[in-house]
Structure 1
Amino acid sequence: MKKSLSKKERLKSRKQIDKLFKEGLRLNVPLLRAFYVVRPFSVSERSVRLQFGVGASSRTFKRAVDRNRIKRLGREAWRLQKEPFFLQLEELNKALDVFIIYTGKELPDYQQMYASVAEVIKKIGGKLK
C-alpha cells in the first residue's frame, strides 16, 4: 500500500462530518479527541475504506497559520501510520471514518502529534476486533 493521503481519503463532506459528530463514537487521548464511525464497506458505491479529517479550534488558536500547522502535522502523522489499520479493515470488510480534533493549548511538535495519533489508532484498532 502506498503511503499517501489522497483526495478520496480525506473527510470533507459536511454531511458526513455532521453525522460523525452526532452518531459517531468518541475517544479521548492526550492532546486529541477522535470521533469515528465503523460502517459496512460496499464496492458498488465506490466508497473509500478509510477516510480521515483533522481540525483545531479557532478559539484556542486565533491565527490560521497555527491551525493549519496543527492540521498538517496531524495529516502527516496519520498518513505514516494508517497502513495496519487499512489491512485490519480489509479483513473485516468494514469502512471507517475518523475525525480528530486537537485539544491541546500549545502548538505541538511533530513527535507529540505522532505519538497521540498512534494512540488513537491503537485504541480504535483494539475496538474493531
Structure 2
Amino acid sequence: MKNTLGKQERLKSKKIIERLYKEGISVKAFPFRMMYLQTEHTSDFPAQVGVTVPKRNFKNAPDRNRIKRLMRETYRLQKEIVYNNLEKPCVFMISYIGREEWKYEELYAKMEKLLTLFINDVKNKEDEES
C-alpha cells in the first residue's frame, strides 16, 4: 500500500457528506471527533476521509489550514490501521474540536487512538448485526 493520501481517498461528495452528518455515528478522542458511515462510495479504496477545523475556534485561516495539514499527515501515516481492518467501504469526517493548537507528536498519538477506537466500534457493530 502506498503511503499517500490521493484524490480518490478524500471525501468530496456533498451528497455523501450530508448523509454522513444525518446518519453517521460519532467517535471521540479529544481533540478529534470522527463521524463515520459505512456506505458505498465512488473510490476503489476502502475508506474516504475528510478533515475539518471550525472557524469558531480558529479565526485565522492560516491556523485552520496548518491544523488540517497536520491532521491529514497524521492520518496518512496511520491509515493502514483502517485499511487492514475494514470489511465494508466507509466514509468519515475527522473534526478538530480542541480550542488550541497541539503539537504534531500529540496529534499523532491521538489520531492513532481515534483510529483504533473507530475500528473497535465498527467491529462491535458488525458483531451485533451477526
TM-score category, normalised to shorter length:
0.7 to 0.9
1:66-97 per-residue CA deviation (whole Å, 9 max, x = no partner) reads 000010000000000011311222xx2x1111
Give 1 or 2: higher strand fraction: 1
- Alpha-carbon separation, structure 2, partners of 1:75 and 1:28: 17
Percent identical: 40
Matching residue of 1:55? 52
- What is the 5 A alignment of 1:1-129? 1-39=1-39, 47-89=44-86, 92=87, 94-129=88-123
Q: 1:61 to 1:86 in 2, by over 3 A?
A: same
Deviation at 1:48, TM superposition (A): 3.3
Partners of 1:72 and 1:46 in 2: CA distance: 22
| Distance in 2, Cα, partners of 1:2 & 1:101 | 24
Q: What's the TM-score once normalised by structure 1's chain length?
A: 0.88
Q: Which runs of 5 or more residues in structure 1 are unaligned?
A: none
Distance (whole Å) between structure 1 residues aligned to residue 44 and residue 5 of structure 2:
15
Aligned AA (2:28): N
> Offset of 1:12 from its aligned partner?
1.4
- Report the number of matched residues: 123
Q: Which runs of 5+ in 2 are unaligned?
A: 124-130
In the superposition, relative to structure 1, how do residues 46 and 67 fare at CA in structure 2: closer, same or farther (>3 Å)? closer
1:75 maps to a residue whose letter is R
Q: Displaced runs of 4+ in structure 1, greater than 2 A?
A: 45-48
The answer on whether the counterparts of 2:24 and 2:37 sit within 8 Å (CA) in structure 1 is yes
